[in-house]
Amino acid sequence: MESGKTAAGVLLGIGVGALLGILFAPEKGSKTRRRIMDKGQDYADELKGKFDELYQGVADKYDSFLEEAKTAVTQK
């Protein structure tokens, strides 16, 4: 339980540090917001790609299992 609290504290500290770094950055706010939006979109695209890969893997395994089941039923 203690290590979970420590990990949560570290992640919270990283998040707060990143937020403060953005807020006090020397760039214009519009440029900083654009960078944040671009990075967020990159993360969303990456997550969608990983989800699509996972979905395709599960679908392929399901199709394979279904085919094996059909073969087993027809052989009996």
What does the domain layout of the chain look like in residue ranges? 2-75
Other CB atoms within 10 Å distance of the CB of residue 35? 13
Tokens for 17? 């540090």
**Chunked in runs of 10, what are the mean pLDDT values of the chain (76 residues)?**
78 85 78 84 91 93 92 83
pLDDT of residue 76: 65
In order, the DSSP letters of 2-31 are HHHHHHHHHHHHHHHHHHHHHHT-SS-HHH
Other CB atoms within 10 Å distance of the CB of residue 69? 10
How many alpha carbons fall within 13 Å on the CB side of residue 4?
1
Predicted TM-score (pTM) above 0.75: no
pLDDT of residue 27: 76
